[in-house]
Structure 1
Amino acid sequence: MAIRLQRATLYLRVDKKKRDGRMPLYVRFRRIDSEEPKFPIGIDLLPEEWDSERQNASDPDIDLILQKEITRIRQEVRKLELEGIEITKEILREIVSQKQTKAERPENQSFYAYYNDYVSKRTNTCKIGESTLKGYETTLKSLREFRSEIRVKDINAKLLSDFEKFLIKRGEESGKGDVKGSRYNRIKHIRAVIKYIEAQNIPIKNPYRTGDLALPEDIINDVFLEEEEVKRLYLLLNKVEVGSKQYRVLVMYLFSCATALRIGDALAVKWGDLDVNRNPIVLGIKMQKVKKPLYVPLPPLAEEMLEFAPEGNLNNVEKENHIFCLYDKQVINETLRELAKMAEIDKRLTYHSSRRTFATLASAKGVPLQDLKQYMGHSSSKTTERYIKWSPTLAEQSAKKVKLFDLKELLKKK
């Protein structure tokens, strides 16, 4: 009777595609009892990184590991066959797993795989919002531009310092310069993944814990509009063309100055989200960032912007229609800076400045901190406090409301 030898081949599992487009590489064997044994090899690749005909990876380092591993598997299978041992599916599973080969040790695995695993778990537990998720995706994209593959054991102070230099150089070449706030977020995301790996007792160097590296300085954007500047923007409504991009961005921005809506929430809000049977009207939405309900009473400025938004067309106010036009966020911020120039406001506006404007002006009007926290959808009053800014104008207004150390007034009372 002819001996039917087992043959081990590698292939990508296209049916197990991951969020980053990578697919796990499997080893498979000839059928045993009408079943094809197949097991993961512990490496994920993009389709373009794998040549199925030649059975090799485009990355020479990864390919070297794969060729050694497939050679080991074939040799162990052949040894058992020569000894006359019946090859079963369980035996093949044990050969492939080998109780953990050197190549399979966690510290030799892709840092990017753990990165995606961390983000996926946070997303599944609703502990990460849409904007934060996009931030993590941007960080991973930047890491891949810096280095196509990074293993867990590659993480150290020099590599992360080189990554920061890469970010600075890229910013300078693009004309944006060193955007410290963005760089802070990139490093903060990487540090979170390092902590996640550490928590699994996997050997990894954490230079932020040892003090070999420090987080970049987080540059806080303090830009907000004073009441007079809000008035100047409001007066532009009579100068820009109805239905133009400038008009629509201005209406949406003023609405957010009066309600503190984030840009993602403002773009998502629909006419059906308004409870018009209440006085004032109450807006009820699920926040895009934290996926929690938010209820905001609309002040007069917000209600007035609702009158501008339909642009005279009542068909625009159907419940399922968005209240504001769905422009790209970058386009919105660029348009805001055009509007600021037209209103002679010497500030670099971003849409998020509307939240600081709301918090600061509402606080100056005497709105309690706890109410502000609810309006802005914060879980902590400390977060809300960071949005309340201070300026000479606000100091002047405060002094008029509260007279401190007026000794002449005190003497009169005596």
Structure 2
Amino acid sequence: MLLSSQNIHHFPQNFPMNFNGKLTAKIVIKDDYVRTDGTSTLYLQIFVSGQKKKIPLHIAVKPIYFDKVKQRVKSKDIFHKDYNLIIEKSLADLNKIEIKYRLENENLTMDKLLHEYQNPSSRIDFIKFWEMEMENQKLIRDNATVQQQLSTLRKVKGYQNSILFYEITKDFYEKMIFHFEKVEKNAPHTIQTLAKNFKKYLHIANELGVKTPLKYQDIKMPKCVSNRAFLLPDEVFKLYEYYNSQFINESLKNILARFLFSCFTGLRISDIRAISLENVVNDILIFFAQKTGKLQRIQLSESALKFIGNDKLFYGEYTDQHINRELKQIVKACGIKKNVTFHVSRHSFATNFLICGGRVEDLQKLLGHSEIKETMVYVHIVESITDKQIHNMNDILTKKPLN
């Protein structure tokens, strides 16, 4: 669709354009390649601090119809007015970006310039920015993390489909959280996840120079009393007995092997999928964590080694949904009345590690936590268990004496 001449400001034709000494732009024609229809493509050629980049304008004209000095399409081309409007709008957009960075005293790099030029709405609309950044996250994060962040994005879009950066105030944020707490009646953990992901993408935007009334560091994470499900040693033993029983079929045994292995290592399901026997050296497991990219080294206990196959680590391929569905049937068959998903195995490892006398600093390394406060959640869980169990001693004197 050709552009209207309304609201287009013509640029003076003294090109190349020198914006601030570091940025230079001009319109060039690739006349060393002529298409079958006799035309050549026009480009916006940009120089930033010595770096060069050509951006196609999606315009093609005959070389004789392009004025290389004025850098405009000559009037001999019947679409010269429309083509020149496209050229001038491209240069105007470039000029707006340069002025914005200069006024905000921000350093303009080639990467930032291309990001701004090719995604103009991402500097205006937080939702558009979040959607675009999610594409980058897909390249560096494990699938479970990406799906969690996409779920939060869908929730926020359901609340308000477009959020302009200047709208992100303390009042806006508090109203949004209130909506999900009181209207949607989301669980505290869901609210905490939403706040964490909202803050994460606001952080990325602020770091890229996007100004918002509410800065990411002003967002205080809501406290969430942990109600993480976990299995105690006797419950893990029940699963182990079922694992070795004659009643379990091959598929359930394969799934339970993964779960019990995680109960003794703390591995996420994404890491279990990524490792093989090549990651096991004697009784040491060495791998890069899928979620964080960190290199981790775990000493495998005799218990953990019981669930490793002879020619491969684990047998069968199963989706997260299938694994969680089957685990519910397994724990029900074992008489365990808890809501169990695969991640419960990681919580169980952490809790039982501390119950058995493990140090929280060592647990932090085993779980791959970047901050000790993440690991301290399990310390509080264990403390609550021991506080309750101390009261069980009250039953000793109320029981009938043995004969």
- Indicate the TM-score class for this superposition, using the shorter chain for normalisation: 0.5 to 0.7
2:299 aligned residue (293, 297, 300): 297
Q: Using a 3 Å threshold, how does the CA distance of structure 1 residues 167 and 248 change in structure 2: closer, same or farther? A: farther
Q: Which residue of 2 aligns with 1:140?
A: 153
Q: Using a 3 Å threshold, how does the CA distance of structure 1 residues 265 and 32 change in structure 2: closer, same or farther? A: closer
Superposition TM-score, scaled by structure 1 size:
0.59
Structure 1 residue identity aligned to 2:257: V
- Whether 2:221 is the aligned partner of 1:206: answer no
Structure 2 residue identity aligned to 1:100: K
Q: Which residue of 2 aligns with 1:195?
A: 203
Q: Which runs of 5+ in 2 are unaligned?
A: 5-26, 32-38, 46-70, 101-116, 392-403
Q: Which residue of 2 aligns with 1:242?
A: 249
Question: What percentage of residue pairs aligned between the two structures are identical?
Answer: 21
Q: How does 1:2-401 map to 2 (within 5 A)?
A: 8=3, 34-37=39-42, 93-98=87-92, 99-100=95-96, 109-119=124-134, 128-156=141-169, 160=173, 164=177, 178-206=186-214, 215-237=221-243, 238=245, 240-245=247-252, 247-275=253-281, 278=282, 281-306=283-308, 310=309, 317-318=310-311, 321=312, 323-388=314-379, 389-390=381-382, 394=386
Superposition TM-score, scaled by structure 2 size:
0.60
Instruction: Select the structure with the greater relative contact order (CA < 8 A; seq sep ≥ 6).
Output: 1
Q: How many residues align?
A: 309
Task: Say which SS state the counterpart of residue 348 (structure 1) adopts.
Answer: coil
8 A contact 2:354–2:382 mirrored in 1: no
Deviates more, 1:140-149 or 1:284-293: 140-149
* Separation of aligned partners in 2, 1:116 and 1:217: 27
8 A contact 2:288–2:296 mirrored in 1: yes
* Separation of aligned partners in 2, 1:348 and 1:184: 20
* Separation of aligned partners in 2, 1:362 and 1:195: 34
8 A contact 1:267–1:324 mirrored in 2: no
8 A contact 1:107–1:151 mirrored in 2: no
Q: Using a 3 Å threshold, how does the CA distance of structure 1 residues 386 and 115 change in structure 2: closer, same or farther? A: same
Instruction: Give the deviation of 1:243 after TM superposition.
Output: 0.7
Q: Using a 3 Å threshold, how does the CA distance of structure 1 residues 93 and 133 change in structure 2: closer, same or farther? A: same
Q: Using a 3 Å threshold, how does the CA distance of structure 1 residues 350 and 112 change in structure 2: closer, same or farther? A: same
Task: Say which SS state the counterpart of residue 229 (structure 2) adopts.
Answer: coil
8 A contact 2:254–2:314 mirrored in 1: no
* Separation of aligned partners in 2, 1:165 and 1:81: 60
CA RMSD of aligned residues (A): 4.5
* Separation of aligned partners in 2, 1:168 and 1:394: 32
Structure 2 residue identity aligned to 1:110: D
* Separation of aligned partners in 1, 2:237 and 2:385: 15
Instruction: Give the deviation of 1:301 after TM superposition.
Output: 1.9
8 A contact 1:223–1:353 mirrored in 2: yes
8 A contact 1:107–1:153 mirrored in 2: no
* Separation of aligned partners in 2, 1:267 and 1:252: 9
Q: Which runs of 5+ in 1 are unaligned?
A: 1-6, 10-28, 41-76, 311-316, 400-414
Instruction: Give the deviation of 1:181 after TM superposition.
Output: 1.7
